[in-house]
Every structure is written in C-alpha cells, then in structure tokens.
Amino acid sequence: MDIEKELVKAAYEAQQYSYSPYSGFEVGVALLGKNGKIYRGCNIENAAYSPSNCAERTAFFKAVSEGCREFEAIAIVGNKKGERGDFCPPCGVCRQVMAEFCDPESFRVILGRSEEEYHSYFLKDLLPLGFGRALL
C-alpha cells in the first residue's frame, strides 16, 4: 500500500473520534512525522465556538507535545455525518501551523474524498506567500 493511501485510511479512522455536535461536520487527519509515526487528529467543537480546534492542529499539537517537530505529509478527510464528503482543504490557521513546522517545498497535503479518491499538493501550493520565521 502506498503511503498516501495509508494516510487517507488512517484519517478516516481518526474521523470516528470527531466531536462535532454543533456543525455535524466530522474531520479526521493523519499526520506523518519524519520519525515514521502517524499522529491522528479530529476536530473538537465547543459551544462557545472559538475554543474549538481543527483536526489538523489537534494532530500537530499532539505530535509536537510528544517531541516530533519534522513532518512529511498530512491526509485530511471531512464530511457531514452520514454523507459522502468532498475534498476538505485545511483552513488558513491550520495552513499557518503547517508552515511553522513543515518545508513548504516538500510537505504534502493529501485531500481525501474516499480511500480510493484523493489529491496530493505541496504546502507551497496551498499557502503561497506564507508568513514564516524568515520574515522575522
């Protein structure tokens, strides 16, 4: 099995843990560290909305809190509960978190519509002119 397909499958597994009682939109991700470990994340909503956390940031923060700070790829899936989803790109905040830890030239963002249908992009394509430490 190729790594992209494996990550999309793991993202669907992570999606099962989504806590999304308000939007009903369930997101799961699988983040591949350069250490070979896969960090899963799901979206976690809150009634006050702003304390909610996206699946992508959940996975990144979990990985960083466990000592991993170098990453190769992330697979993202999302859909309303019980419906077939479309491709689910990361929000701007999550793209910025990716830019903090990932090389935009080589980090792959895989958007899955199913375990068989997905597209792969480089972070630089999803975050052109991103803000990073080189600008500080």
pLDDT of residue 82: 84
83-114: per-residue pLDDT in tens? 888 999 999 999 999 999 999 999 999 999 99
CA distance 122 to 110: 9
- Active-site pick, 6, 26, 45, 56: 56
Encoded amino acid at 19, one letter: Y
Please tell me the total number of residues recorded for the chain in this structure: 136
Active site residue 56: yes
Question: pTM, whole model, 2 decimals?
Answer: 0.95
